[in-house]
Structure 1
Amino acid sequence: MEKVGAYTERVTASGEWQGGDVQSGLRATPMKADYFNMLQRELVAVVEGAGIALDKTDDNQLLQAIRRIRGGAAANFGPWAWSESLNGNPGQGHLALNNANPTLATELRISETSADAEDFTQSLSLLRAGDTITFQDQSAVLSYRFRVTNSGVDNGAYRSVPVRHLSGGGGLPVTNAVVSVLLTLAGASDDGLPVGSMIPMPKAGVPTGYLELDGSVQSSATYPDLFAYLGTTYNTGGESAGYFRLPDSRGEFFRGWDHGRGVDAGRALGSAQLDQMQRITGKLSNINGGTAFGDGEGSLKKTGSGVVAHTSSGGGSYPKDLEFDSATSPGARAGSETRGRNLAVMWCIKAWSAPVNQANIDISALAVQVSQLQNMADFAVVYPAGGSKASPANAALNSRYVQANPFPGHSVMCRVEILRNGEWGDPGFGDYTSPGGSRAACGVRATQLGDSIIVQTGISGMTYSSAYSGDPFGSPDTVTTPVPFRVLVWKIKGVIA
Structure 2
Amino acid sequence: MHRIDTPTAQKDKFGAGKNGFTRGNPQTGTPATDLDDDYFDMLQEELAGVVEATGVNLDKSKHNQLLTALKALLLSRAHPFADIKADGTAAIAEALSNLGLVGGLASDAVGRLIGVKIITASTTYAATPGTKKVLAIITGGGGAGGSCSATTTGSTFSGAGGGGGGTCIGLLNLADATNKAITIGAGGAAELAGGSTTFAGMAAGGGGGGGYTSVTSTPGGTSGTATGGIMNIPGGHGGDGQSGAYLISGMGGGSLWGTGGRSGQNAGISSIVYGAGGGGAYDTGFSGTKRNGGNGAPGVAVILEFA
TM bin, normalised by shorter chain, reads: 0.3 to 0.5
Tell me the TM-score normalized by structure 2: 0.35
More strand as a share of residues: 1
Question: More relative contact order in 1 or in 2 (CA 8 Å, sep 6+)?
Answer: 2
Tell me the TM-score normalized by structure 1: 0.24
